[in-house]
Structure 1
Amino acid sequence: MRKVRSQIVVALVCCILGFMLAYQFRIISLQESNISLQGDSSQITGQVEQLKNEKDDLNKKINELQTKLKQYQDAAVTKSGADKQMLKELDNLNALTGNVDVSGPGIIITITPRNNNIFSSDIDSMRNVITDAALINIVNDLRFAGAEAISINEIRVTSYTGIKTSGGVSNIFIGSSDVISPYKEIIIKAIGDKDKLNSGMVFPGVLDNSNIPSSSYTVASPKKSDNIKILKSNKVLNFQYAKPVSK
């Protein structure tokens, strides 16, 4: 019976990976097709809307499959201490890799454009616009202070999430497909010991010296909270080159 349950769990995992890979390939395909379009805004708008609908449908299916997977995982273990520990380690791994929604105490950091010279003719100079460097510094400082989960504008940031500014400073990519605007409000959430996180961020030289142009942005003091929710990531971890070392 346990063998059958294990096979079912593996099959569900494969289904989840398949749906999420299809979603990422669809995004890449759309990005490539947009490059070849010559100003046909109506066509671009239609494709974006179609992609949004496909993303919503895939997310619903992924949520349904992950719910079933959790049910099978709970049913596959017995009441023994070893099985309980295994399930706890699996839950911790899912939280670490961003595969599940998490909630808990922490802090919220809000970065708001001043809207004065951020749209000036000097926009081609990065010194007036927030870039990936500022966000990377903040994320690193949060992790150093003990953050267990982090998000930027509701986008989950894990150890596998890259942050990169686009050419011309028009966008900031969070991972391979998510994008935020440097000209709109940026909200960073972190779950962990809220007092330690707050102390780490208000320490002199952290937020006030994190490559955030003070002439273009205001950074509010971190807000402590007892109930922060960070959504799961929609990315698939697919190791192609790194393999376990056999002993």
Structure 2
Amino acid sequence: MPEPVQPEPQTGRQRLVRALLRPSRGQVVVAVLLAVLGYAAVTQVRFNEVDNTYASLREQDLIDVLNGLAGTTQRTEAQIARLQRTRDDLLSSTGAREAALAQAQQETDTLSILAGLVPVTGPGIRVTITEQTGTVRVQSMVDTIQELRTAGAEAIQVNGQVRVVADTAVEDTSGGLLIGGEVVSSPYVLDVIGEPETLASSGVDFPDGPRDLFEDDGASVTVDKLASLDIESVVKPPRPQYAEPAG
């Protein structure tokens, strides 16, 4: 009796081809499970990449969130508008304050000059009155000071020691004149700050003006126009006894 023929052993490649062409039930089940597992993994990865902050909210919840964001935006815009108005007010107030301070400082400087409280410098004239054959009268000096003021004098000084202001008195005294409480004598030197040409022509040299008055008194007059002169003397203001600033 002949022996049965043993089938030749299959190689690994042959077994793989056979399994692919004729899969068993178990292999099919395993393949399906692997496919489901792969799909679940891919879906989970994509889900993790998406912002799901509001994914679980209902429609009404989403509407409430949007309304809240809109209210926050409005409040922020209102706050920005208030801050901008505050900034503009501060800038405006600062500018107005600086302008007011500058104006006040300018007025203070002007009043200080007119009141003779500070030394000053500027263009002007120097009038020298020298007694020769007579004595300078009080009225001649007073009229000259008034004419110089009318011609635009901003500051007047006599003999480098007396600042002439609105309430400066001129009186007779032995040896000269008493001006602002100080004794001054010939030659009388008036330093006057203002526009030189105007001061010379309208303040001294006009018919029946100061030059003629002093020459009638027996004195000579010279006028020098200066591009710059200094007036150093100042007036010490008296302390008020009764008056005080009003509120």
TM-score w.r.t. the length of structure 1 is 0.55
Q: Which residue of 2 aligns with 1:193?
A: 195
1-structure distance, mates of 2:167, 2:110: 16
Mapping of residues 69-80 of structure 1, within 5 Å: 80=98
Q: Which residue of 1 aligns with 2:209?
A: 206
Question: What letter matches 2:239 in structure 1?
Answer: N
Q: Please report the RMSD computed on the Cα atoms of aligned residues, expressed in angstroms.
A: 2.4
Q: Find runs of 4+ consecutive structure 1 residues off by over 6 angstroms.
A: none
Q: 1:129–1:216: 8 Å Cα contact kept in structure 2?
A: yes
Q: Which residue of 1 aligns with 2:165?
A: 158
1-structure distance, mates of 2:192, 2:143: 14
Question: What letter matches 1:191 in structure 2?
Answer: I
SS in 2 for 1:106: strand
1-structure distance, mates of 2:100, 2:217: 56
SS in 1 for 2:156: strand
1-structure distance, mates of 2:157, 2:193: 9
Residue segments in structure 2 that go unaligned for 5+ positions in a row: 1-95
Q: 1:81-139: CA deviations, max 9, x gaps?
A: 1111111111111111111000111111111233xx5xxxxxxxxxx311221110110
CA shift at 1:142, angstroms? 0.1
Q: 1:130–1:213: 8 Å Cα contact kept in structure 2?
A: no
SS in 1 for 2:237: coil
SS in 2 for 1:204: coil
Question: What letter matches 2:175 in structure 1?
Answer: S
Q: Which residue of 2 aligns with 1:237?
A: 238
Instruction: Describe the shift of the 1:207–1:232 C-alpha distance in structure 2 as closer, same or farther (beyond 3 A).
Output: same
CA shift at 1:170, angstroms? 2.7
TM-score w.r.t. the length of structure 2 is 0.55
Correspondence for 1:132 among 138, 143, 165: 138
Mapping of residues 58-73 of structure 1, within 5 Å: none
2-structure distance, mates of 1:160, 1:135: 14
Instruction: Describe the shift of the 1:144–1:215 C-alpha distance in structure 2 as closer, same or farther (beyond 3 A).
Output: closer
Correspondence for 2:220 among 211, 218, 221: 218
CA shift at 1:147, angstroms? 0.5
CA shift at 1:239, angstroms? 3.5
Aligned pairs, number: 150
Question: What letter matches 1:190 in structure 2?
Answer: V
Correspondence for 1:172 among 177, 184, 190: 177
Residue segments in structure 1 that go unaligned for 5+ positions in a row: 1-77, 118-127
Q: 1:164-194: CA deviations, max 9, x gaps?
A: 112xx43311112x1112xx31111111111
Q: Which residue of 1 aligns with 2:153?
A: 147
Larger Rg: 2
